[in-house]
Chain A
């Protein structure tokens, strides 16, 4: 079986013209005709926005601007390349350590310089065969159908292929993502029985964390770090575990170590900043957010929220004497994110805090008014983080009641998003409005879970009217709650199937569908609802 590597399309990314020419001539020798090149990361992203490539050969070191890892992150994060695209990272021995520190996204293969054309050919053939073999898995994952992806993987694993270890790891990670904790644990432990491998240990720790067995998880991550002191992912997980246990000081210390090891990871700097804000260590927070902002300039993780947090930490930091810098930062923000409603909202919120810090109450209130208007426009149905930021801002300006209402809204609309609920908890704690935000949030979450379960039970017992009444009322209260809107739509469809569709119920379904689409256009449940709706409309 020989994959025709010459039929594929290639993008070469390297800042050295000689190197680009060399790679191009290697590919040309294999008979490849479709080759594009890019001299830097920015160019590479532009090419990826316009064209689809089967293979990307990218040097890690691309001179000033984005590096290879940032190109990979942005391309995968923004969906510019699919799972079936082969991404080969070309490294030199001096970039080895930098490359291995990156955990968020991994390339399909590393190729260390120098390499011969024969090795390149061999590697490309193998990678393309592997991608072809895994195509059904990738397609299922793109639909977020984890069950189907795992079924496809199982078929391949049963044939005991050469890359069994790799497939086992993939399956274990997929099980974990899909919340299938027992099989995930069994797979990781199966690997550990043969060999004590850090990734499998980390997997066991993540399973424990998902089961909320934080003490055991903490021990696993701690032991991992004792044996592998540069495993950055273990620091991240240990910090998360400390946070879940309420050991915020420990969490901050752990992340500070990880940040010292790999300062380029923006999300980690941000996490450190958030922890330091809660710990009221504003100097550390300011440093971390400043790093995140400056490292983020060429990154896909560049975000106005980072600027806003930097402003807030500067205002809060007593060591930061020149309070005028905050206003400069806000100006910079407006320049960097032109015509971006979300950024304008963040800027208005940050400026309210900055003006308050300068003692300008009137100015602060004006900014808040502007922020409220912008929030009505981009925040109400926008990203839930905007609601959190606004809650923090109004709390800062002393409007406790409104802040509490906004926090409540954030929980009501996102009760099934555990990661976001942790953000709510941190923000709540930072404002000092609640002694135990975790238990307040948990009580609210449980109420919605119960309500939702009651509605589902009624529907499956055939009491459609009662169920519908419940979900419709809930959807009014939680207009951005994915689960509630989805279930409201489902029960309405059930009713239509029984009684036929009328204009009113159709427009109601469409409203719920529109809401879900706004929350997440790729929601797998949404696709099924639309499917059913299509059939019902077709029938009438």
Chain B
């Protein structure tokens, strides 16, 4: 067994433990008899535990990508349903922090992608936006130039200039930007690039052209 394999199985173990922590937190905040519902310290615990969990899942996926063990599970998805799922998954925590989370999308819009992987990408982007927005986050999906672009926009101060460089190179950079370790961006660009169709390759892009006035993360899927 290689060190990388031991690392991976350990991460897997930590991830499961963290999963139980998250579920227990969700349970005790959902039950009013604990008197913890809406407690800001508990919300922080929930958010940070979830963020750590996403990081671990991303690490595991990247490990498998690296060892060639990831199969893309492409299927047609209705974007309205997909964004609705994303919203439902993040809404209660966002609300607890005073953030309004919504989405806008043509109800008939469809795209082909790996649901689990793209969910991971968007969860990461939403997590990022939650830490930098003032009080709003919006998810949108549109068809453009042979791609479907899914965006996460916020009304915070936007991305720092160092992060607005083209991110299509696959190496993570040194240093800690807005995404702290940049794991999320690295993961997102890898997942995007796995999606290919008729010579077009999926990619991500960061701008400060949000319709809400803050940062805008897009993943464009062919």
Hey, which bits of chain A sit against chain B, CB under 8 A?
Answer: 18, 22, 25, 29, 92-94, 96-97, 100, 110, 112-119, 121-123, 126, 160, 162-166, 195-198, 230
In the complex, which residues 44-60 of chain B have their Cβ closer than 8 Å to any Cβ of chain A?
53, 57, 60
Q: How far is the CB of B1 from chain A (nearest CB, A)?
A: 15
| Alpha-carbon distance A92/B60, docked complex (angstroms) | 11
Candidates A96, A121, A197, A230; contact of B74 at CB < 8 Å: A197
Q: Is the CB of A165 within 8 A of B110?
A: yes
| Alpha-carbon distance A113/B81, docked complex (angstroms) | 19
Q: A22-B20, A114-B22 are in contact. List 20 more A-B contacts (CB 8 A).
A: A93-B12, A93-B57, A93-B60, A93-B61, A97-B69, A97-B70, A97-B71, A110-B116, A114-B23, A117-B26, A118-B91, A118-B92, A119-B88, A123-B85, A160-B108, A163-B78, A164-B108, A195-B112, A195-B197, A196-B197
B104 on the interface (CB 8 Å rule)?
no
B80 on the interface (CB 8 Å rule)?
yes
- With a CB–CB cut-off of 8 A, which chain A residues contact B107? 162
- With a CB–CB cut-off of 8 A, which chain B residues contact A25? 27
B2 on the interface (CB 8 Å rule)?
no
- Among residues of B, the one whose C-beta sits closest to the C-beta of A117 is B26
- With a CB–CB cut-off of 8 A, which chain A residues contact B198? 196
Candidates B23, B60, B108; contact of A162 at CB < 8 Å: B108
- With a CB–CB cut-off of 8 A, which chain A residues contact B23? 22, 114
Asked whether A96 and B116 contact (CB < 8 A) given A29-B30, A114-B19, A119-B85, the answer is yes
- With a CB–CB cut-off of 8 A, which chain A residues contact B74? 197-198
| Alpha-carbon distance A441/B216, docked complex (angstroms) | 67
Q: How far is the CB of B102 from chain A (nearest CB, A)?
A: 15
| Alpha-carbon distance A198/B72, docked complex (angstroms) | 12
Nearest first, the 4 A-B pairs at minimum CB distance are A165-B76, A122-B88, A118-B88, A119-B89
- With a CB–CB cut-off of 8 A, which chain A residues contact B20? 18, 22
- With a CB–CB cut-off of 8 A, which chain B residues contact A122? 84-85, 88
B180 on the interface (CB 8 Å rule)?
no
- With a CB–CB cut-off of 8 A, which chain B residues contact A165? 76, 78, 110
| Alpha-carbon distance A112/B57, docked complex (angstroms) | 11
B41 on the interface (CB 8 Å rule)?
no
- With a CB–CB cut-off of 8 A, which chain A residues contact B197? 195-196
Q: How far is the CB of A122 from chain B (nearest CB, A)?
A: 4
Q: Is the CB of B27 within 8 A of A22?
A: yes
Asked whether A166 and B76 contact (CB < 8 A) given A114-B23, A119-B88, A230-B71, the answer is yes
* Number of B residues, CB within 8 Å of A: 37
| Alpha-carbon distance A198/B71, docked complex (angstroms) | 13
| Alpha-carbon distance A164/B110, docked complex (angstroms) | 9
| Alpha-carbon distance A123/B115, docked complex (angstroms) | 14
- With a CB–CB cut-off of 8 A, which chain A residues contact B60? 93-94
Q: Contact flags (1/0) for B12-54 with A, using CB distance below 8 Å?
A: 1000100110110011001000000000000000000000010
Q: Is the CB of B57 within 8 A of A118?
A: no
Q: How far is the CB of A197 from chain B (nearest CB, A)?
A: 7
| Alpha-carbon distance A166/B116, docked complex (angstroms) | 18
- With a CB–CB cut-off of 8 A, which chain A residues contact B53? 114
Q: Is the CB of B80 within 8 A of A162?
A: yes
- Among residues of B, the one whose C-beta sits closest to the C-beta of A230 is B71
- With a CB–CB cut-off of 8 A, which chain A residues contact B76? 165-166, 197
The residue among A93, A119, A160 with the most chain B CB atoms within 10 A of its own CB is: A93
Q: How far is the CB of A344 from chain B (nearest CB, A)?
A: 44
- Among residues of A, the one whose C-beta sits closest to the C-beta of B56 is A93
Q: Is the CB of A115 within 8 A of B89?
A: yes
Q: Is the CB of B71 within 8 A of A94?
A: no
- Among residues of B, the one whose C-beta sits closest to the C-beta of A96 is B116
Q: How far is the CB of B135 from chain A (nearest CB, A)?
A: 20
The residue among B53, B88, B116, B197 with the most chain A CB atoms within 10 A of its own CB is: B88
| Alpha-carbon distance A162/B108, docked complex (angstroms) | 6
- Among residues of A, the one whose C-beta sits closest to the C-beta of B61 is A93
| Alpha-carbon distance A116/B50, docked complex (angstroms) | 11
| Alpha-carbon distance A121/B88, docked complex (angstroms) | 9
- Among residues of A, the one whose C-beta sits closest to the C-beta of B111 is A195
Q: How far is the CB of A98 from chain B (nearest CB, A)?
A: 11
| Alpha-carbon distance A162/B82, docked complex (angstroms) | 11
Q: How far is the CB of B4 from chain A (nearest CB, A)?
A: 15
Q: How far is the CB of A220 from chain B (nearest CB, A)?
A: 18
18 A-B pairs whose Cβ atoms sit less than 8 Å apart in the complex:
A18-B20, A92-B16, A93-B12, A93-B61, A96-B73, A114-B19, A118-B88, A118-B91, A121-B88, A122-B84, A126-B81, A160-B108, A162-B107, A165-B78, A165-B110, A166-B76, A196-B198, A230-B71
- With a CB–CB cut-off of 8 A, which chain B residues contact A29? 30
Q: Is the CB of A117 within 8 A of B30?
A: yes
| Alpha-carbon distance A160/B108, docked complex (angstroms) | 9
- With a CB–CB cut-off of 8 A, which chain B residues contact A22? 20, 23, 27
Q: Contact flags (1/0) for B87-128 with A, using CB distance below 8 Å?
A: 011011000000000000001101010011001000000000
Q: How far is the CB of B145 from chain A (nearest CB, A)?
A: 16
Q: How far is the CB of B63 from chain A (nearest CB, A)?
A: 10
The residue among B57, B61, B69, B115 with the most chain A CB atoms within 10 A of its own CB is: B57
- With a CB–CB cut-off of 8 A, which chain B residues contact A117? 26, 30
- Among residues of A, the one whose C-beta sits closest to the C-beta of B58 is A93
| Alpha-carbon distance A25/B30, docked complex (angstroms) | 10
Q: How far is the CB of A515 from chain B (nearest CB, A)?
A: 44
| Alpha-carbon distance A123/B88, docked complex (angstroms) | 10
- With a CB–CB cut-off of 8 A, which chain A residues contact B16? 92
- With a CB–CB cut-off of 8 A, which chain B residues contact A18? 20
| Alpha-carbon distance A289/B94, docked complex (angstroms) | 55
| Alpha-carbon distance A110/B78, docked complex (angstroms) | 16
| Alpha-carbon distance A267/B65, docked complex (angstroms) | 30
Q: How far is the CB of B106 from chain A (nearest CB, A)?
A: 11
Asked whether A116 and B26 contact (CB < 8 A) given A160-B108, A165-B110, the answer is yes
- With a CB–CB cut-off of 8 A, which chain A residues contact B57? 93
Q: How far is the CB of A183 from chain B (nearest CB, A)?
A: 20
Q: Contact flags (1/0) for B144-156 with A, using CB distance below 8 Å?
A: 0000000000000
Candidates A93, A100, A115, A195; contact of B71 at CB < 8 Å: A100
- Among residues of A, the one whose C-beta sits closest to the C-beta of B27 is A25
The residue among B69, B70, B76, B84 with the most chain A CB atoms within 10 A of its own CB is: B76
Q: Is the CB of A100 within 8 A of B88?
A: no
Q: How far is the CB of B49 from chain A (nearest CB, A)?
A: 10
Q: How far is the CB of A78 from chain B (nearest CB, A)?
A: 28
Q: How far is the CB of A102 from chain B (nearest CB, A)?
A: 12
Q: Is the CB of B73 within 8 A of A100?
A: yes
| Alpha-carbon distance A97/B119, docked complex (angstroms) | 17
| Alpha-carbon distance A114/B84, docked complex (angstroms) | 17
| Alpha-carbon distance A126/B85, docked complex (angstroms) | 10
- Among residues of B, the one whose C-beta sits closest to the C-beta of A25 is B27
- Among residues of A, the one whose C-beta sits closest to the C-beta of B69 is A97
Q: Is the CB of B89 within 8 A of A118?
A: yes
- Among residues of B, the one whose C-beta sits closest to the C-beta of A195 is B112
